[in-house]
Structure formats: C-alpha cells, structure tokens
C-alpha cells in the first residue's frame, strides 16, 4: 500500500493558491472596503440608534456575523470554481488517472480554498477592530471554529463544483441560498428579538448555529448553546465528507 502522496497534494494546493495570488489586491481590498461600508451603514447609522444586544454594543455584536458571511460565500465560491474548471477543461481526467487518491485531491483543493477563506476572515476581523472594540473571550475556539467552518463550506463548495453543469449553477447556491440564510441566521441581530413563531422557524436555519457558536467565542453569549453549535458543525462536516466519498466511489458527474 502506497503512502500519503504529499507531493501530489502540494502540487494541487500550490496551483490553487497561485490562482488566488494573481488577484491578490482584489482579494485584499474587497473585504476591507466591504467591512468598512457595513460599519458605516450598520454600525454608524443603525448602531447609534440601538441599545446593546446581550450586553454587547451593536457595532461589536455584528462582527462575528460579518466575518462568517464573507467566509461562507468565499469558501463555497473558491472550492466550487477550483474543481469546476478542471471539469470544464477536461483536465479532471488527468487528475483522476494520476497517482493521487480521492482524499489527497480533496485535501489539495479544499485546503487551498480554506486557506483563502480563513485569511479573509482574519482580514475582516482586523478591519473591524479599526472601527469598534472587539473582545475575544475564547480566541482558540474562535480560530478553531473559523477554520472548521471554512473547511465545512469548502467541502460543500467542492460538491457544488462537481454538481454544476454551468456557471449559472455555480452562482446559484451562494447567491440564492447561502446569502439569504446568512442574513436570516442572526448575522446582524439576535433571533431572541423575533416574535413567535419566527424565532422557532429560525432554529431550522443551520446557519443560526454557526453564527451563534462563533459569536459565543467572542462574547460568551449566543442564541443557542455552544455545545449545540459544535454538534451542528460536526454533523455538517460529516455529511459533506460522506457525500464526497460517495461521489468518488460512484464517479457521479466526474467520470461521465
């Protein structure tokens, strides 16, 4: 049995990172400008008229949701485009015939996409600190959740890239599903502000648990308990891994 092909993984990872570095300035400037605009609109215009939420100023309260909103969108788009282009150009068959296992291929593609997403999240955090005070009660947990959330949604993006038959389908999930779920998942408010039955309905939104757990790592408060958030994140990771395992076993949308 051959060992882990680290050279193959590194080649895929380096290629994907090089693709991102070609647009490094856009990648850096976009989150900085976007974060600044959110704080001008939400933190300044709206935040000055709102009381504290769960003992946290509104400007600080929206930081975790703002970070995750950008991270989720970038994770899905980067990972989906990364695997879609080899399908589109036909080079995916070279990857499938190379001495690189399915696990190693996924590590290369998803690892590169997750690296870019984590970097975006940290850039957004640093930018937010220029506008408001952002206490981080549990920094290790905060970073761990950022990394795990990025990996989970990069895996989801990898699945979308394999499923998509065109560029329209690539943009369908991030724009029409992930963005609405993020806005309705408590990114800019706490779901405890909602009347019934809308608060109960919100609990069926999986993004609520991610944002709540991530916010808990900052302020020690959340819409649901941190244990439930971690279980939801682990379950989503497991589902994505099982789906990718099935795709490579059957060759669905890869070998036909």
Give the residue from 150, 141, 148 showing the smallest Cα distance to 218.
Answer: 141
Which pTM value belongs to this model? 0.91
Q: What integer is the mean pLDDT of 62-87?
A: 90
**Backbone dihedral angles phi then psi of residue 232, each to the nearest 5 degrees:** -65, -40
The answer as to whether 210 is a domain residue is yes
- Residue 229: its pLDDT value, please? 96
How high does pLDDT run on average in the chain?
88
pLDDT band at 99 (very low <50, low <70, confident <90, very high): confident
Among the residue ranges 129-133, 170-174, 189-193, 239-243, the one predicted with the least confidence is: 170-174
Of 40-49, 205-214, 244-253, which one has max mean pLDDT?
A: 205-214
More confident residue, 171 or 207: 207
Looking at the predicted structure, is the pLDDT value of residue 238 above 90?
yes
Looking at the predicted structure, is the pLDDT value of residue 195 above 90?
no
Looking at the predicted structure, is the pLDDT value of residue 1 above 60?
no
The answer as to whether 1 is a domain residue is no
Q: What integer is the mean pLDDT of 21-32?
A: 72
Q: Domain range for residue 47?
A: 6-250
- Residues 100-110: pLDDT tens digits? 898 999 999 99
Of 18-27, 39-48, 242-251, which one has max mean pLDDT?
A: 242-251
List Cα–Cα distances, 27 to 10, 123, 152, in angstroms: 22, 10, 21
The answer as to whether 256 is a domain residue is no
- Residues 215-224: pLDDT tens digits? 999 999 999 9
Rounded to 5°, the CA angle 62-66-69 comes to 140
pLDDT band at 47 (very low <50, low <70, confident <90, very high): low
Among the residue ranges 48-52, 70-74, 120-124, 175-179, the one predicted with the least confidence is: 48-52
Number of structural domains in the chain:
1
More confident residue, 137 or 256: 137
List Cα–Cα distances, 250 to 32, 80, 95, 246, 253, in angstroms: 42, 19, 16, 6, 9
Query: Is the separation of the CB atoms in 225 and 144 below 8 Å?
Result: no
pLDDT band at 38 (very low <50, low <70, confident <90, very high): confident
The alpha carbons of the chain give a radius of gyration, in whole angstroms, of 19
- Residues 133-190: pLDDT tens digits? 899 999 999 999 999 999 999 999 999 999 998 888 888 887 888 888 888 898 888 9
Q: What integer is the mean pLDDT of 12-39?
A: 79
- Residue 256: its pLDDT value, please? 62
Give the residue from 145, 133, 140 showing the smallest Cα distance to 222.
Answer: 145
The answer as to whether 164 is a domain residue is yes
């Amino acid at each position: 049995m051959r060992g882990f092909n680290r050279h193959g993984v590194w080649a895929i990872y380096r290629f994907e990172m090089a693709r991102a570095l070609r647009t490094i300035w856009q990648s850096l400037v976009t989150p900085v400008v976007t974060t600044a605009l959110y704080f001008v609109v939400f933190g300044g215009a709206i935040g000055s008229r709102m009381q504290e939420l769960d003992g946290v100023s509104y400007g600080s309260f929206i930081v975790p949701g703002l970070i995750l909103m950008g991270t989720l969108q970038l994770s899905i788009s980067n990972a989906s485009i990364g695997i879609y282009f080899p399908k589109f150009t036909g080079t995916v068959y070279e990857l499938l015939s190379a001495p690189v296992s399915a696990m190693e291929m996924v590590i290369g593609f998803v690892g590169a996409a997750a690296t870019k997403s984590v970097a975006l999240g940290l850039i957004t955090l640093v930018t937010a600190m220029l506008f408001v005070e952002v206490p981080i009660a549990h920094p290790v947990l905060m970073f761990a959740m950022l990394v795990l959330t990025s990996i989970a949604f990069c895996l989801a993006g990898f699945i979308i890239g394999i499923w998509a038959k065109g560029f329209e389908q690539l943009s369908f999930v991030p724009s029409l599903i992930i963005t609405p779920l993020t806005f309705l998942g408590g990114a800019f408010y706490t779901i405890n502000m909602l009347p019934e039955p809308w608060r109960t309905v919100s609990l069926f939104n999986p993004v609520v648990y991610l944002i709540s757990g991530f916010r808990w790592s900052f302020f020690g408060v959340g819409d649901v308990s941190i244990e439930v958030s971690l279980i939801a994140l682990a379950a989503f990771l497991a589902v994505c891994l099982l789906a990718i395992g099935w795709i490579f076993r059957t060759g669905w949308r890869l070998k036909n």
